[in-house]
Amino acid sequence: MTDMPIKLLLVDDEEDSRRSSAKWMTRKGHDVTDVSNAAEAMSLLERESFDVGVFDMNMPGMSGLELLQRVHQDNIDIEVIMLTGQGTVETAVSAMKMGACDFLSKPCALGDLEHHCFRARERHELKKENKQLKAVISRVRPAAKLIGESKSLREVAKLIGKVAPTNKPVLIQGESGTGKEVVAQAIQQASRVADKPFVTVNCAALPENLVESELFGHQKGSFTGATAEKPGLFEIADGGTLFIDEIGELPPSLQPKLLRVLEDGSLRRVGCHRQRKVKVRIIAATNRDLQTEVDNGNFREDLFYRINVLSILLPPLREREGDINRLIDHFLPTSFHIDDAARRALNAYPWPGNIRQLINVIDRATILADEFEITLDDLPTEIVGFGHTSATPFPIATPTDPTAAIEVRSAHPRDMLGDPDFKLDDIARVHVLEVLEKEKGNKAGAARKLGIHRRKLYRLLDRFTGKSDATSSDESSACESVL
């Protein structure tokens, strides 16, 4: 900390004292600006940011104490050391109460001045870090982890390893639900600023009139409802990473302001003329084709090139061969088991909502499952019925005698009652399959018409198609309950 240069503002009407202090601090490698009166200092503070200010207490016009009061009222982010040739305990206490962090008497040894400036700058950095931590504590995310071993995911992991150590902007592209924020977190956690803030904002989730305030902050009274000063997410992320999700939704009017931050790190809060400097790494994400948006005039071409220095394209889940089972095992609670039929259905489905949809389906299944066993009955109908084009999505078992099979399929349960040539199973089979056929293969609807739970319907279908043991007591009871 102490070997980093200080951005210092010296305010003193005594030219010899001011010039000698400025020359000494500049020779020590610090960035020093010196002015002779408080009005000039206030004008500078409205346009630029400083780490430390050294204010002479007694100056013609606006005094050092009045300047300190203005700094405090305007919430200017600077640590102030008061300097006076007529120091008393009362004046020191007064200055401290008004927000000064230190108090020095003239003449002051130049070495002491540098030492006190270092202490003030450390306090400034600690206050900023504390503000950042308070602001992002509600945004904390678990450690990012890429789940899967498919070739396409291994390529993504390789790219993360290459881009993470740089400080260049990264653009993550992919369909909704593919895990773009997880990849952004993985980049940040493998970067040189892993211990710094990771702040996220979703442009699509904010009303257009609030995006500017959220990103860049605002001053009190700058618009209706701005009852207090608010730092923007760029300031909160200063020194760390800002993840801008759905950047394709960023209003065109704000794209130049974002470009300015990317170019030189400068920004202004809404309603404020003072320029602030931040050092933030930008990671952006979108499910849109930004090149097409540029061609259509919806996205600035220069901004696109700025954020697209390093690009990562996330594959959809349907193209990640073998990863669905790994994701199921990762998100499924350890107390639950999923049977083979349900697992096959999950693997066959194309997952238009990608990983987010898979997580929701697993959560739903754990709520509906009986005795911690997830079956087809616990999955949504669009997943269970996917790929079945016939009215009856289950194959019909053919008895040994083909004539009997035709007879059973063509008979109506009404006509079979009392006929000793038909068994109870034959009547149940014909009735269940007929209802299912009338429902066009919709098992949930067929179960309702039959007055049974879908689980029982699946057991009956397994029994009738020869997939289960015909002597199973569970299925016998299920059959009895149907009849």
Comma-separated ranges of CATH 3.40.50.300 domains in the chain: 151-315
* Spatial separation of the C-alpha atoms in residues 465 and 483, rounded to whole Å: 18
Of 276, 170, 300, 144, the C-alpha closest to 217 is 276
Contacts of 385 (CB under 8 A, 6+ apart): 393, 441, 442, 443
pLDDT at 476: 37
Q: Assign a CATH topology to domain 7-133.
A: Rossmann fold (3.40.50)
Q: Residue written as tokens 């299920």?
A: 478
pLDDT of residue 247: 95
| Tally of CA atoms within 13 A in the half-sphere of 79 that contains its CB | 21
Q: How far is CA 458 from CA 74, 234, 376, 433, in A?
A: 70, 55, 8, 12
For residue 111, what pLDDT is reported?
A: 87
- CATH hierarchy code of domain 151-315: 3.40.50.300
Please report the pLDDT score of residue 156 as a whole number: 94
Residues of the chain with CATH 3.40.50.2300: 7-133
Beta-bridge partner residues of 243: 200, 283
Tokens representing residue 376 in the block: 């087809």
Q: Are 24 and 113 in contact (CB under 8 A)?
A: yes
DSSP 3-state of 281: strand
Closest CA to 11 of 2, 225, 43: 43
Q: Which CATH architecture has domain 319-380?
A: Orthogonal Bundle (1.10)
Quote the tokens at residue 72. Answer: 């405090």
What's residue 414's pLDDT? 56
How far apart CA 98 and CA 57 sit, in angstroms, is: 13
C-alpha 123/C-alpha 126 separation (Å) is: 5
10-residue mean pLDDT series, the chain (483 residues)? 80 89 91 91 88 88 87 85 75 77 84 89 82 59 77 94 93 94 93 89 88 90 83 91 94 92 90 88 94 93 94 94 94 93 93 95 93 91 71 38 40 58 71 82 81 76 57 37 36
Q: Give the per-residue pLDDT at 317.
A: 95
Q: Are 8 and 53 in contact (CB under 8 A)?
A: yes
So what's the pLDDT on residue 418? 60
**Cα(91)–Cα(83) distance, integer angstroms:** 11
The tokens 């079979």 sit on which residue? Answer: 416
Q: Are 415 and 393 in contact (CB under 8 A)?
A: no
What residue has token string 């009852």?
227
Task: Kindly report the number of other CB atoms within 10 A of residue 396's CB atom.
Answer: 15
| Neighbour-count burial of 473, counting CB atoms closer than 10 A to its CB (0-12 exposed, 13-18 middle, 19+ buried) | exposed
Q: How far apart are CA 26 and CA 33, in angstroms?
A: 9
Give Cα 107 to chain centroid, integer Å: 54
Q: What's the DSSP call for residue 270?
A: B
Among residues 430, 439, 441, the alpha carbon closest in space to that of 482 is found at 430
Centre a 10 Å sphere on the Cβ of residue 108 and count the other Cβ atoms it contains: 17
Q: Cα(89)–Cα(133) distance, rounded to whole angstroms?
A: 35
Under a CB-based contact definition with an 8 Å cutoff, are residues 272 and 235 in contact?
A: no
